[in-house]
């Protein structure tokens, strides 16, 4: 087996780990809760290691797709030609960063779920299936499997929120599922339309990308079906006006699910816009991107403005996510390399930052059983480390230099200013609002007079939560101070995309 | 890597390591305090002072080297590169940097020493010194930076430290609110700076270097409107940080922080960073007359607003805060009138006498447990050293011959006179008011009868006041010695202007053509000097007549000017405008209500409608939903396993 082939098996085994974890937990009796937790932690650590390996082993300046592995599944039958549907996995620079994100967030979420006591067996089975779906989507280079993994990631969400959630969980879960399924239907239609239009009798993404770039998929088809993919994936990426599931869904979801959902799942949507929009339909992208810029900007400003007056921690973070995902969409819509690089960096940055925020909210809610800002005050006195961690997340959110948020937003602003100066100005306005909603929360919750209601009732974060938070904070600081490993990998891929300027 | 920005062969020869050491010393102090000595107040305090002291000594080494050699030296390294974006991390050393370094580190050192007395017994003292060290590091970084990108980064970091230190006593709602206000208001300005940064990236081939931007602005090929836009962008940043109209509202509230913090950050260094930034990019103002007129008149408006509000304050520290706003406005006015040397000279003298004044207000607070001047009076007997140093600071601020403040203010007045008589009138009015409010404060605090101070609230567990306000006393040695040391430059810093020494030093930091032009101007005019002295004397005499001799009652004067007093006491209604109109009415009542309604009825209406359809359909499919989660999980897992097996079966290993 050659070195390159062996790398492919690393990718395959990374995808297999969460499935293996789910399978093993399936055979552990539900009463053996500690065993379930240790198995989960073991696999989470393993996946973190594999993800870091994949990220670091990615060769900057190497092939556009690396660590490839391909197993044909169905070929030369009926309407399918050679390599009709194959389990074709591999990574590019964008996927490499997303895989790292998944590893870190899944690891942190596992640690946080340690204290989950209600049916942990079912929880972890669903959780690992979801994680497998996420990894699969980032790895898949076959349109059929891409969609399969995408759905695999989305479906367990309904149960995870509906069963383990809190505030209005049935409503939140149902709303989220309906909207996401609606999006999936659009993607599904789009996939078959493009499969037909390309006429290659294959679902292989690399062949389809080539067909999109050289005009085999004709211009009009591209223009017609681009919105199917962008809206379909956009629902998951909280594209305005399809974002309304996001605040309710986040409010209802349990801590670990919020972390994975906001941290990683929402990025699947943006990732889908890159894979199925920009890469598959470059001419459609060129035509529609100004529209996406408008929607992204509205989302960025709208989310930030809506977060300003919320009273529930999770609603603030939910709307803040809408705003930050708006930045991601703006970055993608610039269609220049620096803007798209920024969008991908923002996907990572928002992922770790928002996971940390939800971790902290969960740590407080588990003790206080309320998330209303006005119930608190002076928390810094009793939960100093909690406040420090939350503050760091908040400052990354605001885009303070030295943390990952600035790295990403700076790229997006530069990219936007190059093509759409007016929208760049609006994006900066949204950044001012971000300072408003974050600091308002700080001053109400962390500072001010201590609310005596919580005397002796609140305790600082546990060591496990501390470990999880440290992993997330470390990623934010590294990306904020040492940009090169991140920007190099992402821009290596982005500059090769068809239709992307400078 | 080294390149010379000027054609002159002369350049500072101080080694690069020394410059990085100045940046690193307080940072190491910060790290040591955070990691090891957070819980040891005495060690943390003196470690902080020592760390800043090292930076201070090295800064003077650099200053003397620059004085001896002149010119500019840049040491720069590539930090990262992403596509076209190349960002360097480097230091630039020239006259302006050297002067700023010495100002920052000297004041910071004295304030750290002072803090060891003032903050004694505070439960959060470790955190305090850590933040102060981090602030000093960021401020030094801001001054040393050789490119706009780094300036922006340190600019944001000083803002963060300011936030943390204003909110140091976070259990006080007023402090928490003030910290929030300061961060948000300055952040609004910072976004202008960010826009300027983006403009440079897209219009100057991504070259952020200070020299490159200066050359870009002076290049006749650059479109004028771009230079003006850039100038207004960085000025927006300066308006936020330096509390200029219309963003001046945060600085007075920032007085909620500990007094040494106010002395260091909100009087001497960070708030002056805006002036430094404009001076750093002074060629941009030369190139854009529109921009410099904006700068000059915004500065004039700020100076006037600050001075008028200071006239009616009853809080000793807030008099000083509004005075700072006003003096920063005066510096901006000077820059706008092309008074590069005058503005920086005033920045220098102001840093010394204003930090002196703030620290003396700290001493008064230490004795009386209050800043309210109505509860003070007669402290001259108990606090002679504080009285003398405070009077020296006030005389200097008022601009009395031959103290430092006279020379620097006089240069600003002269530049204003040359540029526009309207500016000169405003500046002169402001100096008269400055003299008046400072001596009003001195007479109220140190003369007359003592009114007892603020009784100690023994129920307040967060208070660390240890003395007895009924029997005020002079501050301990660590607290009066820094005042005495600061009094020396407050008296004598005017000597630097002798023989154009200061001018020649800092003008070397500019491109040659501008430097030569500035060197050709005279810097003294008898008429302006005599007029300004007369204004200062008039202000002091009036304060003496009203508050010491009490020939006129202050109450009757207030009544006489009722509409004006009302305007000044309500801070020109800016806070009311921002809070009641923008925040409460526009944002909370209007915009957000609109968003909520939209989400609830328009967008969700569609979703909930489809949900109803779906639930009707699901009634028919209910038998699948057993409610057994295990069943669902098993189903999903079985599906996955089936797919894996299918893949494997189709293509065995």
Position B360 scores a pLDDT of 92
Tell me which residue in B83, B199, B202 faces A337 most closely, judged by beta carbons. Answer: B83
Burial category of B448 from C-beta neighbours within 10 Å (exposed 0-12, middle 13-18, buried 19 and up): middle
CB contact under 8 A, A125 and B85: no
User: Which 3 state secondary structure label does DSSP give A140?
Assistant: strand
Q: What pLDDT is stored for residue B635 in this prediction?
A: 67
Q: How confident is the model at residue B646 (pLDDT cuts 50, 70, 90)?
A: low
Helices (H) and strands (E) in chain B, counts: 28, 3
DSSP code string of A352-375: HHHHHHHHHHHHHHHHHS--BGGG
The confidence band for B632, taking pLDDT boundaries of 50, 70 and 90, is low
Contacts of A381 in chain B (CB under 8 A): 171
The C-alpha angle with vertex B152 and arms to B62 and A391, in degrees rounded to 5, equals 115
Inter-chain CB pairs, A–B, below 8 Å:
175
B299 to chain A, closest Cα gap in Å: 24
* Helical segments of B167-315, H only: 173-203, 210-218, 224-241, 250-253, 259-263, 273-280, 282-287, 289-312
- Contact (CB<8Å) B641/A23: yes
Task: Considering only the beta carbons, identify the residue of A73, A309, A491 that sits closest to B646.
Answer: A73
A9 touches chain B (CB under 8 A): no
* Residue of chain B minimizing CA distance to A490: B82
Structure tokens at B39: 């819980």
From the list A310, A305, A270, A330, the residue with the least C-alpha distance to A138 is: A270
Residue that is written with structure tokens 């007085």 in the block:
B255
Q: How far apart are CA B148 and CA B155, in angstroms?
A: 10
Residue A50 at interface with chain B, using a CB cutoff of 8 Å: no
Contact B629 A174 (CB under 8 A): no
> Where does the pLDDT of residue B5 fall: very low under 50, low under 70, confident under 90, or very high at 90 and above?
very low
The structure tokens 């904006």 sit at B294
Q: Is the pLDDT of residue B462 over 70?
A: no
Q: At what angle do helices A337-368 and A484-494 cross, to 10 degrees?
A: 130
Distance, C-alpha B10 to centroid of its chain: 33
pLDDT of residue B464: 61
Q: Which residue has the tokens 């035509």?
A: A287
Q: Give the separation between CA B60 and CA B38, rounded to whole angstroms.
A: 30
- Burial class from Cβ neighbours inside 10 Å (0-12, 13-18, 19+) for residue B622 reads exposed
Nearest to B198 among A401, A413, A443 (CB): A413
Band the pLDDT of B4: cuts 50, 70, 90.
Answer: very low
**What are B212-269's pLDDT values in tens digits?**
898 888 888 888 889 999 999 999 999 999 999 889 899 999 998 899 999 999 888 9
Task: List, in order, residues 6 or more apart from B240 with CB less than 8 Å away.
Answer: B185, B186, B187, B188, B189, B190, B192, B247, B274
Cα distances (Å, whole numbers) of residue A400 to A394, A403, A433, B293, B410: 9, 6, 14, 32, 40
Rounded Cα–Cα distance for residues A403 and A473 (Å)? 9
How far is the alpha carbon of B37 from chain A, nearest alpha carbon, in Å?
17
Chain-chain contact of A488 with B82 (C-beta, under 8 angstroms): yes
Give the C-alpha separation, B430 to B536, whole Å: 10
Q: What's the gap in Å between the CA of A218 and the closest CA on chain B?
A: 31
Dist CA A323 CA A318 (whole Å): 9
Most B-contacting residue of A401, A408, A450, A486 (CB-CB within 10 A), to test interface: A401
Q: What is the pLDDT of residue A199?
A: 87
Nearest CA to A337 out of B25, B541, B82, B223 is that of B82
Of B599, B636, B646, which has the smallest distance from its Cβ to A155's Cβ?
Answer: B636
State the nearest Cα–Cα gap between A372 and chain B, in angstroms. 18
Give the nearest chain A residue to B179 (CA atoms). Answer: A443
* pLDDT of amino acid A164: 87
Q: Measured between CB atoms, which of B153, B173, B183 is closest to A439?
A: B183
Query: Do residue B80 and residue A484 have CB atoms under 8 angstroms apart?
Result: yes
Instruction: Give one DSSP letter per residue of B527-558, joined into a string.
Output: HHHHHHHHHHHHHHHHHIIIIIS-SS-HHHHH
Helix (H, G, I), strand (E, B) or coil at B11: coil
The contacts of residue B109 (CB under 8 Å, 6+ apart) are: B49, B52, B53, B55, B56
3-state SS, one letter per residue, for B287-327 = HCHHHHHHHHHHHHHHHHHHHHHHHHCCEHHHHHHHHHHHH
Give per-residue pLDDT as tens, B112-156: 999 998 888 888 888 999 999 999 999 999 999 999 999 999 999
Distances (CA, A) of B282 to A248, B215, B217: 51, 11, 10
What percentage of chain B carries pLDDT values higher than 70?
A: 87
Q: Are A247 and A315 in contact (CB under 8 A)?
A: yes
Radius of gyration of chain A (CA): 22
Please provide the average confidence, as pLDDT, over all residues in chain B. 85
Distance CA A464, CA B487 (A): 54
Max CA distance (Å), chain A: 72
What does each C-alpha distance from B443 to A436, B396, B438, B486, B548 come to in angstroms?
A: 41, 16, 9, 22, 6
Please give the distance of CA B182 from its chain centroid, rounded to a whole number.
10
pLDDT tier for residue B599 given thresholds of 50, 70 and 90: low
DSSP state letters, B117-171: HHTTT-TTHHHHHHHHHHHHHHHHHHHHBSBHHHHHHHHHHHHHHHHHHHTSSTT
Supply the pLDDT for residue B459. Answer: 65
How far is the C-alpha of B548 from the C-alpha of B545, rounded, in Å?
A: 6
Q: How many CB atoms lie within 10 A of CB B40?
A: 13
pLDDT at B6: 45
Which residues lie below 8 Å from residue B134, measured CB to CB, with a gap of 6+?
A: B26, B27, B30, B157, B161
Residues with Cβ within 8 Å of A15's Cβ and at least 6 positions away in sequence, in order, are A89, A132, A135, A136, A139
Burial of A376 (0-12, 13-18, 19+ CB in 10 A): buried
Find the mean pLDDT for residues B195-210: 84
Rounded CA-CA distance B518/B509 in Å is 12
Give the pairing of strands B2-3 and A85-91. unpaired
pLDDT at position A244, please?
82
Which string of b and e fits B117-146 if b means at least 16 CB within 10 Å? bbbbebebbbbbbbbbbbbbbbbbbbbbbb
B188: nearest CA partner in chain A? A432
State pLDDT tens for residues B407-453.
899 889 998 998 888 999 999 999 999 999 999 999 988 888 888 77
**Surface of A (269-308) touching B: CB under 8 A:** 302, 305-306, 308
Which one of A447, A489, A490 would you mutate to disrupt binding with B, by most B Cβ within 10 Å of its Cβ? A447
First to last CA, chain B: 56
Contact flag B592-A306 (C-beta cutoff 8 Å): yes
Contacts of residue B173 in chain A, CB cutoff 8 Å? Answer: 447-449
Chain centroid, CA B449 distance in Å: 36
Query: Domain coordinates of chain A in residue numbers?
Result: 3-501
pLDDT tens by residue, chain A, 502 residues: 667 778 889 999 999 999 999 999 999 998 899 999 999 999 999 999 999 999 999 998 888 899 989 888 888 877 788 888 999 999 999 999 999 999 999 999 999 998 888 889 999 999 999 999 999 999 999 999 999 999 999 888 888 888 888 877 888 888 888 888 889 999 999 998 999 888 888 999 999 999 999 988 888 899 999 999 999 999 999 888 888 888 888 888 888 888 999 899 999 999 999 999 999 999 999 999 999 999 999 999 988 988 887 888 888 898 999 999 999 999 999 999 899 999 999 999 999 999 999 999 999 988 888 888 888 888 888 888 999 999 999 999 998 888 999 999 999 998 998 888 889 888 888 888 888 888 888 888 888 888 888 888 888 899 999 999 999 999 999 999 888 899 999 999 998 988 888 7
User: What backbone torsions phi and psi does residue A429 show, to the nearest 5 degrees?
Assistant: -60, -45
């Amino acid at each position: 087996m050659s070195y390159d082939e062996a790398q492919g098996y690393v990718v395959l085994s990374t995808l297999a780990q969460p499935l293996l974890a789910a399978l093993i937990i399936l055979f552990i009796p539900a009463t053996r809760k500690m065993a379930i937790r240790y198995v989960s932690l073991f696999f989470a650590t393993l996946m973190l290691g594999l993800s870091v390996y994949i990220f670091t082993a990615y060769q900057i300046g190497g092939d556009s797709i690396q660590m490839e592995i391909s197993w044909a599944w169905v070929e030369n039958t009926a309407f399918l030609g050679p390599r009709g549907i194959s389990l074709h996995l591999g990574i590019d620079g964008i996927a490499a960063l997303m895989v790292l994100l998944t590893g870190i967030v899944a690891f942190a979420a596992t640690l946080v779920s340690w204290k989950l006591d209600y049916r942990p067996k079912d929880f972890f089975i669903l959780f690992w299936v979801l994680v497998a779906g996420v990894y699969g989507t980032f790895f898949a280079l076959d349109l059929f499997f891409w969609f399969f993994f995408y759905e695999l990631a989305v479906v367990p969400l309904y149960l995870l929120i509906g069963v383990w959630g809190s505030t209005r969980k049935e409503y939140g879960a149902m709303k989220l599922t309906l909207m996401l399924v609606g999006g999936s239907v659009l993607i599904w239609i789009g996939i078959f339309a493009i499969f037909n239009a390309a006429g290659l009798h294959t679902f292989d993404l690399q062949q389809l990308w080539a067909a999109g770039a050289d005009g085999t998929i004709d211009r009009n088809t591209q223009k017609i079906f681009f919105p199917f993919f962008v809206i379909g994936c956009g629902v998951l990426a909280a594209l305005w006006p399809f974002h309304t599931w996001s605040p309710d869904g986040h409010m209802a979801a349990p801590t670990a699910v919020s972390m994975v959902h906001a941290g990683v799942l929402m990025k699947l949507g943006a990732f889908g816009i890159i894979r199925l929009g920009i890469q598959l339909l470059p001419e459609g992208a060129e035509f529609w991107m100004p529209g996406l810029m408008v929607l992204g900007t509205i989302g960025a400003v709208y989310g930030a403005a809506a977060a300003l007056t919320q009273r529930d921690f999770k609603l603030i973070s939910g709307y803040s996510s809408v705003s930050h995902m708006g930045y991601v969409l703006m970055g993608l819509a610039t269609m220049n390399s620096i803007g798209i690089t920024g969008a991908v960096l923002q996907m990572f940055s928002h992922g770790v930052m928002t996971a940390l925020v939800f971790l902290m909210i969960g740590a407080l809610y588990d003790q206080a059983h309320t998330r209303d800002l006005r119930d608190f005050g002076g928390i810094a006195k009793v939960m100093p480390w909690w406040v420090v961690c939350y503050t760091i997340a908040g400052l990354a959110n605001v885009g303070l230099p030295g943390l990952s948020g600035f790295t990403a937003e700076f790229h997006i602003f530069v990219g936007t200013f190059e093509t759409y100066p007016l929208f760049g100005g609006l994006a900066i306005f949204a950044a001012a609002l971000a300072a408003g909603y974050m600091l308002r929360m700080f001053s109400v919750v962390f500072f001010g007079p201590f609310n005596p209601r919580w005397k002796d009732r609140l305790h600082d974060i546990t060591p496990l939560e501390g470990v999880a938070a440290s992993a997330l904070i470390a990623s934010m600081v590294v990306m904020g101070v040492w940009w090169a490993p991140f920007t190099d990998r992402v821009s290596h891929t982005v500059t090769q995309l068809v239709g992307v300027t400078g | 890597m080294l390149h010379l920005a000027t054609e002159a062969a002369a350049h500072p020869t101080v080694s690069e390591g020394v410059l990085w050491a100045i940046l690193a010393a307080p940072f190491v102090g910060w790290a040591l305090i955070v990691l090891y000595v957070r819980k040891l107040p005495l060690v943390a305090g003196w470690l902080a002072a020592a760390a800043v002291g090292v930076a201070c000594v090295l800064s003077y080494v650099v200053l003397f080297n620059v004085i001896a050699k002149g010119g500019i030296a840049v040491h720069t390294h590539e930090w990262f590169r992403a596509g076209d974006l190349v960002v360097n991390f480097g230091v630039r050393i020239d006259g302006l940097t050297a002067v700023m370094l010495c100002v920052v580190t000297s004041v910071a050192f004295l304030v750290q020493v002072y803090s060891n007395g003032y903050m004694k017994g505070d439960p959060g003292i470790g955190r305090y010194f850590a933040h102060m060290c981090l602030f000093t590091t960021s401020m030094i970084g801001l001054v040393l930076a050789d490119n706009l990108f780094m300036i922006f980064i340190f600019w944001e970091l000083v803002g963060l430290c300011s936030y943390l230190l204003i909110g140091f006593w976070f259990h006080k709602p007023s402090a928490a609110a003030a910290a929030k206000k300061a961060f948000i208001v300055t952040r609004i300005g910072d976004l202008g700076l960010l826009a300027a940064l983006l403009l440079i990236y897209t219009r100057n081939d991504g070259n952020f270097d200070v020299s490159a931007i200066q050359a870009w602005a002076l290049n006749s090929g650059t479109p004028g409107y771009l230079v003006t836009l850039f100038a207004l962008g960085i000025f927006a940043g300066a308006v936020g940080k330096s509390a200029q109209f219309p963003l001046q509202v945060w600085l007075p509230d920032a007085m909620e922080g500990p007094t040494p913090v106010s002395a260091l950050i909100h009087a001497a260094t960070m708030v002056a960073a805006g002036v430094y930034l404009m001076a750093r990019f002074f060629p941009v103002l030369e190139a854009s007359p529109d921009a410099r007129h904006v700068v000059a008149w915004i500065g004039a408006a700020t100076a006037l607003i600050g001075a008028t509000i200071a006239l009616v304050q009853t809080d000793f520290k807030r008099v000083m805060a509004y005075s700072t706003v006003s003096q920063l406005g005066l510096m901006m006015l000077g820059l706008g009138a092309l008074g590069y040397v005058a503005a920086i000279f005033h920045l220098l003298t102001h840093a010394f006498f204003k930090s002196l004044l703030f620290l003396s207000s700290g001493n008064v607070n230490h004795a009386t447990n209050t800043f309210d001047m109505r509860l003070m009076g007669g402290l001259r007997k108990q606090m002679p050293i504080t009285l003398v140093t405070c009077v020296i600071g006030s005389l200097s601020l008022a601009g009395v011959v031959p103290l430092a403040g006279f020379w620097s203010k006089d240069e600003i007045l002269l530049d204003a006179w040359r540029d526009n008589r309207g500016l000169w009138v405003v500046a002169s009015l402001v100096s008269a008011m400055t003299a008046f409010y400072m001596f009003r404060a001195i007479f109220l605090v140190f003369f007359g009868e003592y009114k007892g101070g603020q009784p100690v609230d023994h129920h307040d567990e967060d208070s660390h006041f240890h003395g007895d306000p009924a029997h005020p006393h002079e501050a301990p040695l660590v607290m009066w010695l820094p005042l005495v040391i600061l009094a020396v430059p407050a008296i004598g810093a005017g000597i630097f202007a002798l023989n154009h020494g200061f001018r020649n030093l800092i003008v070397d930091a500019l491109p040659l053509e501008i430097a030569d032009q500035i060197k050709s101007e005279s810097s003294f005019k008898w008429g302006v000097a005599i007029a300004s002295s007369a204004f200062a004397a008039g202000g002091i005499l009036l304060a003496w007549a009203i508050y010491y001799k009490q020939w006129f009652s202050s109450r009757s004067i207030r009544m006489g000017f009722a509409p004006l007093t009302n305007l000044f006491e309500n801070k020109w209604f800016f806070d009311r405008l921002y809070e009641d109109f923008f925040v409460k009415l526009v944002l909370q009542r209007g915009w957000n209500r609109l968003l909520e309604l939209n989400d609830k009825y328009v967008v969700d209406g569609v979703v909930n409608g489809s949900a109803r359809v779906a639930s009707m359909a699901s009634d028919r499919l209910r038998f699948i939903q057993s409610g057994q989660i295990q069943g669902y999980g098993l189903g999903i897992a079985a599906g996955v396993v089936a797919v894996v097996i299918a893949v494997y079966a189709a293509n065995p290993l």
